[in-house]
Chain A
């Protein structure tokens, strides 16, 4: 199956169906999912859309559609979308300032040892890469960003932390993320951002949306404090 073939549509329940866009995580698949998500937003009777790496969960009002009608409506919408036309996607580039280092990134020395790089090299490689938000979830505003460069691949911590402070920037396997709220977490923490990832009062609610490009920009301790960063939590 090529990466932009018409998705499989499976019924999950009488109010949900899952669109599967192959089994390969790629930018092409991710773009197509973002387009279809955008296209389905304007369809009547759609309750919620949950895009992820290779799938899109469509939750619909079952007083509006039965299982035949929803599949027909989805097919009709997708038919009208050209997988190579990216104009539907409202994707942004988000830059996230990070105060890297062991003061607020207690795992950075372990990561450096594991990767056989210096701390400065870890920071440079992490902030030189442009990432893509492949999925949002786990907790509101938590964006799974990929892919980290091969040299930065580290396993998750054997024992997850019970409380990861807000704004912690972390890596695990081929992904990186920022913790938007205090939650348990097993990723390796290398720094912290002073920026809020989630704001119920803002228009988009979450700073990062699925499909966005994300870059990290190193800042000093002073800049971190000036931008409202907090040194608490560890």
Chain B
């Protein structure tokens, strides 16, 4: 029981919530760039929260179903079609043997999530299927390969299809340009003027952005701090290298680094950032740890209510 990859697209990866507990040896976590979309995918199908899904970046990815099942589509609208009929994300669809599921190109957002009833069957490496191409770990082969033409994405048989959709209010707005930043312990290394510049300027997403980090172009931010002794890097950390152009470090980030940091984007904010394409413009907006906690609790309460 499987989907067969007909067209591999630009970048389609098997992901779960990430490979945790190995950052001390320098191994990154991987995981979904848009965690909210990923969690909804599994919630819609009553899957375990960590069930493997496919993260489709940009599109040009086509699958053929070899057996009946239920899928959920969340995240970006990549102009996805089921047998040539456009199907919008944030809901479930019944799949029949022979169906063609095709992700074309971005209509709204950049990364779509495909989940299947019970999750895709994939052998974990170090406790996770998350694909990290740079570290050659995870995915279908266990060696960090992106999906290729002819790959077989297995799922288990036997289900009862239920038509479900995510409540409208819970769907993230990928058109939101303000990205919340938790002011960390190092923001005082930047003068009030530099901070004001950072939080009031437009930043454009650079084409050199990837799953490791989003590079932004705009008003340079400066600090008198030359560098710091290398220290662990949390998800969402905003590094300010010498040229003053911020880098937001995301799922495939390196484990340690020595640049000063303005703060951390939240997982919800990082998910929205990851849905922006090169050339898109965003602004950063400061929040406290307290506000970030509330945002997270609200998010998790929505999943709890759903179940």
Question: Are A and B interaction partners?
Answer: yes
Contacts of B137 in A (CB 8 A): 200
Shortest beta-carbon distance, A100 to chain B, in Å?
A: 25
Contacts of B20 in A (CB 8 A): 47-48, 59
A13–B26 CB distance below 8 A: no
Mark each residue of chain A from 123 to 146: 1 if its CB lies under 8 Å from any CB of chain B, else 0: 000000000000111111110100
A52–B232 CB distance below 8 A: yes
B266–A142 CB distance below 8 A: no
Which residues of chain B from 230 to 288 have a CB within 8 Å of any chain A CB?
A: 230-237, 254-257, 263-264, 266-267
Interface centre among A13, A16, A56, A141 (most CB of B within 10 A): A13
B25–A55 CB distance below 8 A: no
B229–A12 CB distance below 8 A: no
B234–A16 CB distance below 8 A: yes
In the complex formed, the residue of A with least CB distance to B25 is A206
Please report the total number of B residues contacting A with Cβ < 8 Å. 40
In the complex formed, the residue of A with least CB distance to B184 is A12
In the complex formed, the residue of A with least CB distance to B300 is A63
The stretch from B88-96, B218-226, B289-297 touching chain A is B289-297
Which residues of A are interface residues toward B (Cβ below 8 A)? 10-16, 18, 23, 25, 37, 47-57, 59, 62-63, 66-67, 135-142, 144, 181, 198, 200, 204-206, 209-210
Which residues of B are interface residues toward A (Cβ below 8 A)? 20-27, 29, 125-126, 135-137, 182, 184-185, 229-237, 254-257, 263-264, 266-267, 289-290, 292-293, 296, 300
Apart from A51-B232, A137-B257, 11 more pairs, CB < 8 Å: A15-B235, A15-B267, A18-B231, A50-B233, A53-B230, A54-B231, A136-B24, A138-B26, A140-B22, A204-B25, A206-B26
User: Can you give 29 A-B contacts (C-beta < 8 A)?
Assistant: A10-B184, A11-B289, A12-B185, A12-B237, A13-B264, A16-B264, A37-B24, A48-B22, A48-B24, A48-B29, A50-B255, A51-B24, A52-B229, A52-B230, A55-B232, A57-B23, A57-B231, A59-B20, A67-B289, A136-B25, A136-B255, A140-B25, A140-B26, A141-B26, A142-B26, A198-B25, A200-B125, A205-B22, A210-B24
